[in-house]
């Protein structure tokens, strides 16, 4: 992906982001079929996990766990594109949904956040047990946007121990410096389009959580929020043990921990990602020798459409997926 070049008909980071998500082809023929399992969490909540597998199931295939982005799911464009890639490349794909993102309100007085390496840890360890029980050849993990930051935060947190769980990890268009990205998405066109889109789904979910747990937060303050900084200050930060948004964004960012990563890791970020200032992207001298950085000029935020109009989304899953597969021993 370092040499990715956007089609001439798809110029600029915003268009590459929006068009790819809405109109580019995610799969060749039929939409991937997902099989859902509900897993109990250590706090007696649940996580819904969707699997896209070969038919019939084949234990010789590795498993790729894909952590979705903010308000994403197995129905997101990138999830479907990765599922299609997996079917064509003998690799099953699983998408665990962060709390509240599977279409069903979760049970605990919490949701999900960008630095939730504890959630990543217990999920990956359960996937590891599944892989071992099925005698699969390996376990891979990738995360998109928010999910990629949480995954890299986990890899940095666990250092050498992470190698015992997964063969390799990848982050895709992830805000590894949450402070820089959080402020960027709250300005200009980003604020008017992307911020509004996220808050349209995040506010109703938060209010449903308040109905479950009266007094959990101030409803008037939450409904008055106009950007992610304000929303995180009222909801995400206090519900997940952070003092405020600044504390959350600082402590949840993966970037300061990427020097501790001790397993093969790939960080893919487009230089023209509207959500992520290029000045905030990781530098090779600031990450461990185990981290590979791909930073093409184009791609937008989880875009990377290729081919003739309306474009297809095969290129990014193919590049990232093949990079991960080479680390199956």
145 strand-pairing partners:
none
Q: How many CB atoms lie within 10 A of CB 328?
A: 14
Three-point CA angle 231, 233, 237, nearest 5°: 105
Cβ contact 202:71 at 8 Å: yes
Q: What pLDDT does residue 29 have?
A: 80
State the catalytic residues. Answer: 145, 273, 301
Tokens representing 277 are 């200032």
**Digitized pLDDT (tens) for each residue of the chain, 329 residues in all:** 888 999 999 999 999 999 999 999 999 888 999 999 999 999 999 999 999 998 777 778 999 999 999 999 999 999 999 999 999 999 999 999 999 999 999 999 999 999 999 999 999 999 999 999 999 999 999 999 999 999 999 999 999 999 999 999 999 999 999 999 999 999 999 999 999 999 999 999 999 999 999 999 999 999 999 999 999 999 999 999 999 999 999 999 999 999 999 999 999 999 999 999 999 999 999 999 999 999 999 999 999 999 999 999 999 999 999 999 999 97
Q: What is the pLDDT of residue 203?
A: 98
3-state secondary structure labels for all residues of the chain = CCCCCCCCCCCCHHHHHHHHHHCCECCCCCCCCCEEEEEECCCCCEEEEEEECCCCCCCCCCEEEEECCCCCCCCCHHHHHHHHHHHHCCCEEEEECCCCCCCCCCCCCCCCCCCCHHHHHHHHHHHHHHHHHCCCCCEEEEEECHHHHHHHHHHHHHHHHHHHCCCEEEEECCCCCHHHHHHHCCCHHHHHHHHHHHHHHHHHHHHHHHHHCCCCCCHHHHHHCCCHHHHHHHHHHHHCCCCCHHHHHHHHCCHHHHHHCCCCEEEECCCCCCCCCHHHCCCHHHCCCCEEEECCCCCCCCCCCECCCCCECCHHHHHHHHHHHCCCC
Are 63 and 82 spatial neighbours (Cβ–Cβ below 8 Å)?
no
Give the phi and the psi of residue 12 in degrees, each rounded to 5: 85, 150
Q: Look at residue 172 in the predicted model and tell me its pLDDT.
A: 98
By the 8 A CB rule, do 203 and 224 touch?
no
Of 282, 228, 227, 311, the residue nearest 17 (C-alpha): 311
Q: Which domains does the chain have, with CATH numbers?
A: 13-177+253-325 (3.40.50.1820), 179-252 (no CATH)
Task: Compute the distance between CA of residue 99 and CA of residue 149 in angstroms, rounded to an integer.
Answer: 16
pLDDT of residue 59: 75
Residues 6+ apart with CB under 8 A from 181: 175, 275, 276, 277, 280
**pTM of this prediction exceeds 0.95:** yes
In sequence order, what are the beta bridge partners of 168? 140
């Amino acid at each position: 992906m370092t040499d990715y070049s956007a089609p001439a008909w798809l110029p600029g980071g915003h268009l590459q982001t929006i068009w790819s998500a809405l109109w580019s082809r995610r799969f060749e023929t039929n939409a991937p079929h997902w099989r859902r399992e509900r897993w109990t969490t250590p706090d007696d909540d649940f996580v819904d996990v969707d699997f896209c597998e070969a038919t019939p199931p084949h234990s010789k295939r590795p498993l790729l766990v894909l952590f979705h982005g903010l308000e994403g799911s197995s129905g997101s464009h990138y999830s479907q594109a990765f599922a299609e890639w997996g079917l064509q490349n003998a690799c099953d794909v699983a998408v665990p949904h962060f709390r509240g993102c599977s279409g069903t309100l979760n049970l605990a007085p919490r949701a999900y956040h960008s630095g939730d390496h504890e959630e990543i840890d217990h999920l990956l360890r359960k996937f590891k047990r599944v892989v071992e029980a099925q005698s699969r050849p390996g376990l891979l993990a990738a995360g998109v946007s928010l999910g990629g930051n949480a995954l890299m935060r986990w890899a940095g947190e666990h250092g050498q121990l992470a190698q015992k769980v997964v063969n390799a990890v990848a982050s895709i268009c992830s805000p590894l410096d949450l402070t820089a990205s959080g402020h960027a998405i709250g300005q200009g066109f980003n604020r008017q389009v992307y911020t509004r889109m996220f808050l349209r789904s995040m506010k109703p979910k938060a209010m449903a959580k308040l109905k479950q747990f009266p007094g959990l937060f101030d409803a008037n303050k939450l409904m008055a929020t106009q950007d992610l900084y304000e929303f995180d200050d009222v909801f995400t930060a206090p519900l997940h043990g952070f003092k405020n948004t600044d504390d959350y964004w600082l402590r949840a960012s993966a970037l300061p921990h990427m020097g501790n990563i001790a397993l093969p890791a790939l960080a893919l970020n487009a230089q023209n990602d509207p959500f992520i200032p290029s000045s905030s992207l990781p530098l090779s001298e600031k990450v461990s020798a185990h981290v590979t950085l791909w930073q093409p000029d184009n791609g937008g935020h989880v875009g990377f459409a290729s081919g003739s109009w309306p474009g297809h989304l095969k290129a990014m899953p193919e590049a990232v997926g093949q990079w991960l597969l080479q680390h199956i021993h």
